[in-house]
């Protein structure tokens, strides 16, 4: 990556991180501060009660209301864009679809245009494996070369943003890096993964003993390390990457790994998958069951070969970190 006026004589690189209070954004901010050599600007929608010491926080509203980014982008070398609308309450309504478009597509592209005009050199965009699709066949894995097959309005909005960013890169010379992670777990994880950890820690019986699948996951530490690698690696420019821990697991193996990390026994019962699907359909939880029990594998050979990247921590280490943080909370 080329130096510019935002990098001073002692080599301090100015980085702006959006979504800086989110699960991934906060971890990126903390890692950059810990590494040193960066002036970290943490962009949030509102003030935070848990700031990372050493970062400078900017309250900039959200992606749909902020239209004057240039004062915040002055002198910035790198922009890491983790902010997005992710929650889907009713993805069939016109208003919901429009909101995903406004935030994830229009907001992202407006920010990128302002970044290019201000002299930002590289724009790292956190996308989603959902752009590839919702599942893989047994023994196969998604790769960057696969045709997109987004499965919901969130994934479609990420794909639209990716396409817009690529066009902008061609028109302006802004270097764009697109990262599509699968499920991210680690300290502070919420939603379904947090529910699964709670069930395992409390010793609740789980009807998952018959699930025979393979899923790629990515530990928060590994994802952040990959983002940092993409910040300055010359071969990352204008590339799309899939990222994971590099070790796929079945749901049964995942539950056992969580139990081992928590130091509790495992209580798995072999309920047939067809019965789980029927129950999930009755409860309106079919998508949750798919995310837990379906196949979804990703191939990270491009990240390994092009960037010489190796995930720094193992699945077991990532699970132990997630469990330890949950205990502290």
Buried b (16+ CB within 10 A) or exposed e, 171-198: eeebbbbbbbbbbbbbbbbeeebeebbe
Give yes or no for a contact between 101 and 157, defined as CB atoms under 8 angstroms apart.
yes
* Tokens 């396409």, residue located: 163
For residue 118, what are the contacts with CB-CB under 8 A and spacing of at least 6?
A: 69, 70, 73, 74, 76
Tokens of 88: 């889907």
Give yes or no for a contact between 72 and 16, defined as CB atoms under 8 angstroms apart.
yes
Of the candidates 147, 145, 150, the residue with the CA atom closest to the CA atom of residue 161: 150
Q: Which helix (H) or strand (E) holds 80?
A: strand 78-81
Of the candidates 287, 86, 300, 271, the residue with the CA atom closest to the CA atom of residue 181: 300
d(CA 305, CA 61): 39
- Strand, helix or coil at 283? coil
Give yes or no for a contact between 168 and 113, defined as CB atoms under 8 angstroms apart.
yes
Distance of CA 312 to the CA centre of its chain: 17
* Tokens 């997630």, residue located: 322
Our answer to whether residue 185 is catalytic in this structure is no
Q: Indicate the length of the chain as a whole number.
A: 329
Cα–Cα–Cα angle for 146, 281, 180, rounded to 5 degrees? 25
**Among the options 38, 57, 154, 185, which is catalytic?**
154
d(CA 243, CA 143): 10
**Which positions are annotated as active-site residues?**
154
């Amino acid at each position: 990556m080329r130096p510019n006026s935002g990098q001073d004589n002692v080599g301090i690189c100015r980085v702006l991180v959006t979504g800086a209070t989110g699960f991934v954004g906060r971890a990126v901010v903390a890692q950059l501060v810990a590494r040193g050599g960066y002036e970290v600007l943490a962009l949030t929608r509102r003030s935070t009660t848990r700031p990372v010491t050493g970062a400078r926080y900017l309250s900039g509203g959200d992606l749909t209301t902020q239209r004057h980014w240039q004062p915040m982008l002055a002198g910035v070398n790198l922009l890491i864009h983790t902010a997005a609308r992710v929650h889907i309450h009713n993805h069939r309504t016109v208003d919901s679809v429009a909101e995903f478009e406004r935030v994830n597509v229009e907001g992202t592209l407006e920010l990128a245009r302002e970044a290019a005009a201000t002299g930002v050199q590289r724009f790292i965009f956190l996308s989603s494996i959902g752009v590839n699709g919702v599942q893989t066949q047994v023994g196969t894995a998604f790769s960057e070369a696969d045709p997109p097959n987004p499965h919901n309005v969130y994934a479609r909005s990420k794909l639209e943003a990716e396409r817009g960013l690529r066009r902008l890169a061609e028109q302006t010379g802004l270097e764009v890096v697109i990262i599509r992670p699968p499920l991210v777990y680690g300290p502070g994880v919420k939603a379904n993964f947090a529910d699964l950890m709670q069930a395992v820690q409390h010793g609740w019986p789980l009807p998952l003993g018959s699930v025979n699948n393979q899923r790629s996951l990515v530990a928060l530490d590994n994802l952040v390390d990959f983002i940092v690698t993409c910040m300055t690696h010359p071969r990352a420019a204008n590339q799309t990457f899939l990222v994971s821990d590099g070790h796929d697991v079945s749901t049964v193996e995942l539950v056992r790994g969580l139990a081992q990390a928590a130091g509790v026994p495992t209580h798995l019962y072999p309920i047939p998958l067809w019965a789980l699907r029927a129950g999930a359909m009755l409860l309106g939880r079919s998508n949750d069951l798919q995310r837990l029990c379906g196949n979804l594998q990703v191939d990270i050979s491009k990240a390994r070969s092009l960037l010489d990247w190796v995930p720094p921590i193992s699945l077991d280490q990532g699970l132990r970190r997630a469990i330890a943080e949950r205990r502290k909370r």
